[in-house]
């Protein structure tokens, strides 16, 4: 029989607010680093009282398709927040514009930084 603590690790508590991730792959050295960040985000979510959802990964340095999907998702989801690995992941691809404030204002969704 599986101890209840192991079951807790398999299933998120759906009564907690949802946390979704956003990562720009072009800022990382490998897909392995992306996988590590996704795992770290899940730990962060639990520690901060969230239920971890999907992590949106921006694959192309010239596209914002994942960011657009993230904006669409949080627009239809109540009580969600977004976690990013560092402020660099929310810098505009074509310039030094910090998207964090723009994103928060436009969507009403908090953006948190992953901390270790």
DSSP structure string for 28-73: SS-HHHHHHHHHHHHHHHHHTT-EEEEEEEE--TT--HHHHHHHHH
pLDDT in tens, 5-39: 444 554 556 789 999 999 999 999 999 999 999 99
pLDDT in tens, 59-107: 987 888 999 999 999 999 988 999 999 988 988 766 667 788 889 999 9
DSSP H or E segment with residue 103:
helix 99-107
Q: How many CA atoms lie within 13 A of 8 on its CB side?
A: 5
Q: What is the pTM of this model?
A: 0.84
Compute the residue count for the chain: 116
């Amino acid at each position: 029989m599986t101890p209840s603590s192991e079951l807790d690790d398999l299933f998120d508590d759906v009564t907690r607010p949802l946390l979704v991730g956003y990562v720009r792959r072009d800022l990382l050295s490998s897909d392995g680093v992306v996988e590590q960040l996704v795992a770290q985000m899940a730990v962060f979510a639990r520690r901060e009282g969230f239920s971890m959802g999907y992590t949106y990964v921006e694959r192309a340095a010239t596209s914002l398709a994942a960011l657009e999907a993230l904006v669409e998702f949080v627009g239809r989801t109540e009580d969600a927040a977004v976690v990013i690995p560092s402020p660099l992941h929310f810098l505009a691809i074509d310039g030094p514009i910090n998207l964090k404030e723009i994103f928060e204002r436009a969507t009403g969704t908090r953006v948190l930084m992953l901390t270790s």
